[in-house]
Amino acid sequence: MTLREFQQRIDAIYGARDRRRGIDATFRWLVEEVGELARALRRRNPQALAEEVSDVLAWTVSVATLAGVDVEKSAARYASGCPKCGGTPCECPADLPA
């Protein structure tokens, strides 16, 4: 499944409900799912992690659709490497404390 197909699939499954709920409430659901992903990471539960990643992906795509964003184009931003430095791997200054 391409990202475009995934976005179309999520819209077919949830699009009408997402549009009724609106972008602000849908975004709050995405944030709640990110919290569930954080809990799954803390518990180191591989099954829960896989499910929470898929939920975060689906809610992110729902928010993108409501905002008129084409996720395939968003992903293409990374097709040639890091969007900031162009590197693969990224050669931007490290964001972690030394």
Binding site for Zn ion (CB under 5 A): 82, 84-85, 90, 92
Cα–Cα separations (whole angstroms), residue 31 to 28, 39, 77, 97, 98 = 5, 13, 23, 26, 30
Q: Which is nearer to Zn ion, 54 or 80 (CB)?
A: 80
Q: In the bound complex, what is the minimum distance in angstroms from residue 90's beta carbon to Zn ion?
A: 3
Q: Is 88 exposed, middle or buried (0-12, 13-18, 19+ CB in 10 A)?
A: exposed
Q: Which is nearer to Zn ion, 56 or 90 (CB)?
A: 90
Q: In the bound complex, what is the minimum distance in angstroms from residue 82's beta carbon to Zn ion?
A: 3
Q: Which is nearer to Zn ion, 8 or 74 (CB)?
A: 74
